């Protein structure tokens, strides 16, 4: 395997510096409020400022952080929530990550890579439920070359079941060399997502054995820099919470975000913050388990630290936690999720020997849509930015005045209307129509006229895939 790093690659995570920042920060009400005020002006926070927020632990200050995160989320994203589903393509893996049921030493895991028919079946099932955006997930294995991943992406785009189609395919797979990233980029992917898992070097080395590919901390840390260099300007970072001190991971994520911003003028498109889940054959160590209270704190603090970065909350969490945490700044969730290989067509009980971990939210897409609508969120399947080439630095939402009003809200309305027409249960449809009318009424008159006329084409004329 080619282990070529990016040009001028450096290890930009200094464990001592981060640990010192955490140890030296103590609760400081005045500073916390100053920093919150900066964040409310939609300015990204420095690593030092984020450390000050992490030290706020009294109930009163934590509530202030929650309130600020809620408000900032409304300012930047409104009530839209983008919906996607993960699709596991293959669970063969040459690595041995201690927390994962796909690790190579797990002999009892049933290994499977979807064949062409199975891939078609899974994608068709997802389209039949109403999905438009997928993230394809791969173990790390010589079978899953960049060419193979690119070919899988192209096949997914070709599947058309009924009125369904997948309009955006994201990837979560092992880091590649530059050539590999170029091949995958050319297949038409949206986001390339790689989680560092833990930014803490010693912990990284313990959970990723040295003789494995993933055991190379710097190659992984540098992965998304290579992706950018290869032309992928839409990348997602993440940490697996529960391996080490959650405060350290938050500062690692913010440092990584700044590193990409300083080098490429654009930070990551998304941040993910999964908590470790029980998994087949995995012994969890609770030394660094993140409590629900701390989980809420970390989500709120990340929102404040990186106001324009999308935040992804997955079905690893229960419906109750998802409902609570979503308010603090989440912009994307998965729905109707199955993490078992070929799980979208398996009506029987899930087989844990084919799953990477157990999920906490097993509700269907329609149940989640109804729940969101009832809580006044506007689910969106919009894929327009990436299809119109609106990615990277010049198209970050803050760079374009009126961006949300001109693009995001109308596109959320159109894609939600498509869902309601084609896939929703009666209950979801009637609740959704009321929400849509309310959203349209909030638009300025000129925009409202355009949106209403386009909406008629969807509802009355059966037109699909209308977007701004």
- Picked from ligand SF4, ligand SAM, none, the partner binding residue 274 (CB below 5 to 8 A depending on kind) is ligand SAM
Residue from 112, 113, 102, 118 nearest 156 by CA: 118
- Picked from ligand SF4, ligand SAM, none, the partner binding residue 12 (CB below 5 to 8 A depending on kind) is none
- Helix or strand or coil: residue 90? strand
- Picked from ligand SAM, ligand SF4, none, the partner binding residue 36 (CB below 5 to 8 A depending on kind) is none
CB atoms within 10 A of CB 247: 23
- Under the binding rule (CB under 6 A), the answer on residue 139 touching ligand SF4 is yes
- Helix or strand or coil: residue 52? helix
Binders in 241-270 for ligand SF4, by CB under 6 A: none
- Under the binding rule (CB under 6 A), the answer on residue 282 touching ligand SAM is yes
- Under the binding rule (CB under 6 A), the answer on residue 95 touching ligand SF4 is yes
- Under the binding rule (CB under 6 A), the answer on residue 144 touching ligand SF4 is no
Q: Cβ of residue 96: shortest distance to ligand SF4, in angstroms?
A: 6
- Picked from ligand SAM, ligand SF4, none, the partner binding residue 295 (CB below 5 to 8 A depending on kind) is none
Q: Which of 25, 61, 132, 140 binds ligand SF4 (CB under 6 A)?
A: 140
Q: What are phi and psi of 79, to 5 degrees?
A: -105, 20
Q: Cβ of residue 271: shortest distance to ligand SF4, in angstroms?
A: 18
Number of DSSP helices (H) and strands (E) in the chain, helices first:
19, 9
Contacting residues for 335 by C-beta, under 8 A, at least 6 apart: 83, 84, 85, 315, 363, 364, 365, 368, 369
The residue with tokens 């997928």 is: 134
Q: Cβ of residue 148: shortest distance to ligand SF4, in angstroms?
A: 15
Which of 47-55, 65-73, 191-199, 404-412 is the region at the interface with ligand SAM (rule: CB under 6 A)?
191-199
- Give 321: exposed, middle or buried? Use CB within 10 Å, 0-12, 13-18, 19+: middle
- Under the binding rule (CB under 6 A), the answer on residue 420 touching ligand SF4 is no
Residue from 383, 377, 400, 448 nearest 73 by CA: 377
Which of 89-97, 257-265, 298-306, 456-464 is the region at the interface with ligand SF4 (rule: CB under 6 A)?
89-97
Q: Which is nearer to ligand SAM, 317 or 327 (CB)?
A: 317
Contacting residues for 176 by C-beta, under 8 A, at least 6 apart: 146, 184, 223, 226, 227
- Under the binding rule (CB under 6 A), the answer on residue 197 touching ligand SAM is yes
Task: Using CB under 6 A, list all residues that contact ligand SF4.
Answer: 93, 95, 97, 100, 102-103, 139-140, 214
């Amino acid at each position: 395997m080619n282990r070529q790093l990016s040009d001028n690659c450096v290890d930009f995570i200094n464990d001592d510096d981060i640990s010192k920042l955490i140890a030296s920060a103590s609760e400081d009400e005045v500073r916390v409020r100053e920093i919150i005020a900066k964040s409310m002006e939609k300015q990204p926070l420095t690593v030092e400022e984020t450390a000050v927020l992490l030290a706020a632990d009294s109930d009163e200050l934590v509530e202030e952080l929650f309130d600020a995160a809620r408000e900032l989320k409304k300012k930047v994203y409104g009530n839209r929530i983008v919906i996607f589903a993960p699709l596991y393509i293959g669970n063969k893996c040459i690595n041995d990550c201690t927390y994962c049921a796909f690790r190579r030493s797990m002999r009892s895991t049933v290994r499977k890579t979807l064949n062409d028919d199975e891939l078609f079946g899974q994608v068709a099932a997802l389209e039949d439920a109403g999905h438009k955006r997928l993230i394809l997930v791969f173990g790390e294995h010589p079978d899953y070359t960049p060419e193979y991943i690119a070919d899988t992406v192209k096949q997914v785009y070709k599947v058309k079941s009924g009125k369904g189609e997948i309009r955006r395919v994201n990837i979560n797979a092992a880091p590649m060399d530059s050539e590999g990233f170029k091949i995958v980029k050319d297949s038409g992917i949206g986001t390339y997502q790689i989680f560092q898992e833990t930014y803490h070097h010693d912990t990284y080395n313990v959970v990723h054995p040295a003789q494995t590919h993933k055991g190379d901390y710097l190659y992984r840390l540098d992965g998304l820099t290579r992706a950018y260099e290869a032309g992928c300007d839409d990348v997602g970072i993440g940490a697996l919470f529960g391996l080490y001190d959650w405060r350290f991971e938050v500062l690692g994520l913010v440092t990584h975000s700044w590193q990409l911003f300083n080098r490429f003028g654009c930070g990551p498109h998304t941040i993910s913050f999964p908590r470790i889940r029980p998994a087949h054959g995995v012994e969890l160590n609770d030394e660094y388990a993140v409590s629900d209270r701390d989980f809420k704190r970390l989500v709120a603090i990340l929102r404040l630290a990186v106001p324009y970065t999308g935040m992804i909350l997955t079905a690893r969490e229960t419906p109750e936690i998802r409902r609570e945490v979503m308010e603090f700044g989440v912009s994307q969730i998965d729905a109707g999720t199955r993490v078992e290989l070929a799980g979208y067509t398996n009506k029987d009980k899930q087989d844990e020997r084919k799953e990477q971990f157990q999920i906490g939210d097993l509700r269907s897409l329609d149940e989640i849509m109804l729940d969101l609508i009832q809580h006044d969120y506007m689910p969106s399947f919009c894929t327009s930015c990436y299809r119109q080439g609106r990615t990277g630095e010049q198209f970050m939402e803050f760079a374009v005045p009126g961006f949300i009003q001109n693009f995001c809200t109308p596109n959320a309305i159109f894609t939600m209307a498509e869902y309601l027409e084609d896939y929703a249960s009666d209950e979801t449809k009637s609740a959704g129509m009321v929400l849509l009318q309310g959203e349209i009424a909030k638009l300025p008159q000129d925009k409202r006229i355009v949106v209403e006329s386009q909406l008629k084409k969807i509802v009355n004329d059966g037109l699909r895939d209308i977007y701004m």
